[in-house]
Amino acid sequence: MGTAGAVRHHQDQKDANQQYASQQDAGMQQMQQQQAQLDAMQQQQYAPPPPPAPAPAPQAAAPDLTAQLQQLAQLHTAGVLSDQEFAEAKQKVIAGG
């Protein structure tokens, strides 16, 4: 092989090495991007759950209790309930039953 052939071979080898290195760099960049995407997905999966919604405020029992007592009083006044039935029903409502 002459000098020109050796130079040509050397240049071809150099070009091939550069192309290989360029491909390796591109592959490495692609792997790093994929790893970054996986890391982001894992962070989303392991994020703490959102706090639970606050419990609804308990409804005031007084208006309901008052309404029930008024209804019983009306039934007593109308003669539907006797004095004893009214007293028992009133105690039941007050006791929460």
Q: Can you give the three-state secondary structure of the chain, one letter per residue?
A: CCHHHHHHHHHHHHHHHHHHHHHHHHHHHHHHHHHHHHHHHHHHHCCCCCCCCCCCCCCCHHHHHHHHHHHHHHHHHCCCCCHHHHHHHHHHHHHCC
Q: What is the pTM of this model?
A: 0.37
The per-residue pLDDT for 62 is: 63
Q: What is the maximum span of the chain, computed from C-alpha positions, in angstroms?
A: 130
Over residues 48-96, the pLDDT tens digits come to: 777 888 877 666 556 688 888 999 999 999 998 899 999 999 898 888 7
